[in-house]
């Protein structure tokens, strides 16, 4: 299998991460800084789900199975995986939240977190269990709590139900090995802004769009947690009056502060909207990871029926980068120009592209040919000539291509650090976007 990345020139262009040779049941499960977790299966066995954990900082790649025996007693609160990080330090762990059955079979289920750490790869996957205490019913009924978004920020892990609120806990305990005690992780809870509808919405209602179509929450610039919502999905709102609203979290105790509102009718009159159609609806909001004021909004068609109340996105056609502070359209792009038929619900906002090693197409071809030759003779990729490598990379593409063809020269002496991330060396020379 080969992980490949195609990077757009700049937002709101869309980058693409792909797994060549993997299963069609492949998906990006979680991204945090330079770590990406991909779910996939073997081609000959679709029943066994695997996690591929790639760390672009050090070039490591781990393959671990989904939790099973001896963790079969674990019932997940959500399939959403948290990439947990302490307040200080570069360590991380993969975390799944749920309940652990009593061994004796007579007691209550124990709230718990399952952990996998790259540093403990010698242990059986998911063998580390941390006891937890989820919020009680006076705060939220955890039986109906379904996290849609999970992330960690400043040493705190957040599990976000975009209809009901947020549970959270301090993560430093997961990384503190001092002492013999294994403390229980206490979870807190805070609600969404009270004016947001949907607390009594039934997720099983097939006539209403999925949450990601009109609401999301994430970290902006590693400093602020923001929430963005588009109305008109849970109740009827005239097209021109549909509004994009952004809140920022002051803190769990003080709650939310409304920052920006933008009606679709106002959006139509902004410079940059140009000849975009005015009969399509805003949908699938995304928060920029780099700019406090930028929100990405897709525009597309919906299946709508007021008689039976049905409002489901059908197809997104455009993606706009909007500065909510200045009410300006920073840029727009036609989604039909990207990778054929694009499922906008699979687009996420992240800064993963900052951490990968990116080279031009010519160098990528040269690296691929070098690695192919080295694999035939089991040559150590760290055996290289630095001076010769520098000289070779300064040559034009035609020079080294003719060398490969005419002289069958072997091996091409590339510096060792290029071999650490060979499958991520793809097609672009600028690392500007924050959309993957």
Specify if 41 maps to a domain. Answer: no
Residue 176: which residues within 8 A CB-CB, separation 6 or more?
none
| Distance, CA of 22 to CA of 18 (rounded, Å) | 9
How many structural domains compose the chain? 3
Domain boundary among 164, 191, 218: 191
CB 12 within 8 A of CB 320: yes
ω before 411 within 30° of 0 (cis)?
yes
The reply to whether 134 and 95 lie within a common domain is yes
Specify if 355 maps to a domain. Answer: no
Coil/strand/helix, residue 402: helix
| Distance, CA of 35 to CA of 75 (rounded, Å) | 25
Q: How open is the CA angle 12-14-15, to the nearest 5 degrees?
A: 135
| Residues β-bridged to residue 2 | 20
The reply to whether 214 and 97 lie within a common domain is no
Tokens 């609806």 belong to residue? 281
The reply to whether 279 and 181 lie within a common domain is no
Domain boundary among 148, 167, 191: 191
Nearest to 428 by CA among 7, 3, 5: 7
The reply to whether 180 and 121 lie within a common domain is yes
Lookup: tokens for 300: 């597309």
CB 381 within 8 A of CB 374: yes
The reply to whether 138 and 208 lie within a common domain is no
Q: Exposed, middle or buried by CB within 10 Å (0-12, 13-18, 19+), for 227?
A: buried
E strand residue ranges, 134-222 = 149-153, 156-161, 165-170, 185-186, 188-190, 215-220
The reply to whether 336 and 233 lie within a common domain is yes
Specify if 43 maps to a domain. Answer: no
Q: How open is the CA angle 59-148-29, to the nearest 5 degrees?
A: 25
Read off the DSSP letter of residue 108. P
ω before 21 within 30° of 0 (cis)?
no
Provide the residue range defining the domain that includes 233: 204-342
The reply to whether 310 and 260 lie within a common domain is yes
Lookup: tokens for 77: 């609160």
Specify if 85 maps to a domain. Answer: yes
Residue 306: which residues within 8 A CB-CB, separation 6 or more?
236
Helix (H) or strand (E) holding 373: helix 361-377
Residue 399: which residues within 8 A CB-CB, separation 6 or more?
none
pLDDT of residue 378: 42
Nearest to 33 by CA among 92, 114, 76: 92
The reply to whether 326 and 403 lie within a common domain is no
Specify if 322 maps to a domain. Answer: yes
Specify if 259 maps to a domain. Answer: yes
The reply to whether 270 and 391 lie within a common domain is no
| Distance, CA of 192 to CA of 49 (rounded, Å) | 33
E strand residue ranges, 288-386 = 294-305, 310-323, 328-334
Strand pairing class (110-116; 149-153) = unpaired
DSSP letters of 153-176?
A: ETTEEEEEETTTEEEEEE-HHHH-
Specify if 5 maps to a domain. Answer: no
Specify if 436 maps to a domain. Answer: no
CB 1 within 8 A of CB 26: no
Nearest to 327 by CA among 409, 402, 260: 260
The reply to whether 213 and 319 lie within a common domain is yes
The reply to whether 240 and 157 lie within a common domain is no
The reply to whether 212 and 336 lie within a common domain is yes
Coil/strand/helix, residue 347: coil
Residue 139 CA from chain centroid, whole number: 28
Q: Exposed, middle or buried by CB within 10 Å (0-12, 13-18, 19+), for 103?
A: exposed
Ranges under pLDDT 50 in the chain: 69-72, 374, 376-386, 389-390, 393, 396-436
């Amino acid at each position: 299998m080969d992980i490949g990345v195609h990077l757009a020139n700049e937002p709101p262009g869309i980058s693409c991460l792909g797994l060549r040779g993997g299963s069609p049941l492949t998906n990006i499960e979680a991204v945090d800084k330079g770590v990406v977790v991909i779910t996939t299966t073997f081609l000959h066995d679709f029943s066994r789900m695997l996690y591929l954990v790639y760390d672009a900082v050090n070039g490591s790649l781990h393959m671990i199975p989904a939790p099973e025996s001896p963790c079969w007693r674990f019932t997940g609160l959500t399939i959403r995986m948290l990439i947990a990080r302490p307040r200080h330090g570069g360590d991380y762990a993969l975390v799944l939240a749920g309940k652990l059955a009593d061994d004796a079979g007579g007691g209550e289920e124990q709230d718990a977190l399952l952990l996998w750490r790259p540093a403990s790869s010698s242990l059986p996957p998911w063998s580390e269990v941390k006891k937890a205490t989820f919020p009680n019913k006076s705060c939220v009924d955890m039986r109906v709590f379904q996290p849609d978004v999970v992330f960690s920020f400043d040493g705190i892990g957040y599990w976000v139900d975009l209809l009901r609120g947020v549970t959270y806990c301090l993560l430093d305990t997961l990384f503190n090995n001092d002492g013999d005690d294994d403390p229980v992780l206490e979870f807190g809870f805070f609600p969404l802004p009270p004016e947001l509808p949907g607390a009594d919405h039934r997720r099983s209602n097939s006539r209403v769009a999925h949450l990601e179509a009109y609401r999301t929450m994430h970290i902006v610039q590693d400093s602020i947690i923001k929430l963005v919502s588009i109305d008109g999905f849970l109740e009827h709102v005239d097209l021109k009056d549909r509004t994009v609203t952004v809140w920022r979290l002051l803190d769990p105790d003080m709650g939310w502060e409304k920052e920006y509102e933008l009606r679709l009718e106002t959006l139509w009159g902004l410079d940059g909207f140009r000849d975009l159609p005015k009969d399509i609806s805003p949908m699938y909001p995304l928060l920029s990871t780099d700019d406090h004021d930028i929100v990405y909004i897709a525009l597309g068609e919906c299946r709508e029926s007021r008689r039976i109340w049905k409002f489901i996105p059908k197809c997104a056609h455009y993606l706009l980068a909007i500065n909510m502070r200045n009410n300006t359209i920073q840029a727009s792009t036609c989604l039909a120009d990207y990778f054929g038929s694009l499922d906008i619900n699979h687009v996420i906002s992240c800064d993963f592209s900052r951490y990968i090693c990116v080279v031009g197409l010519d160098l990528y071809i040269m690296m691929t040919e070098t690695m192919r030759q080295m694999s035939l003779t089991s040559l150590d990729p760290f055996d290289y000539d630095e001076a010769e490598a520098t000289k070779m990379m300064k040559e034009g593409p035609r020079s080294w291509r003719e060398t490969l063809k005419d002289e069958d020269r072997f091996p091409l002496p590339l510096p060792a650090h290029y071999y650490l991330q060979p499958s991520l060396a793809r097609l672009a020379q600028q690392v500007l976007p924050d959309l993957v």
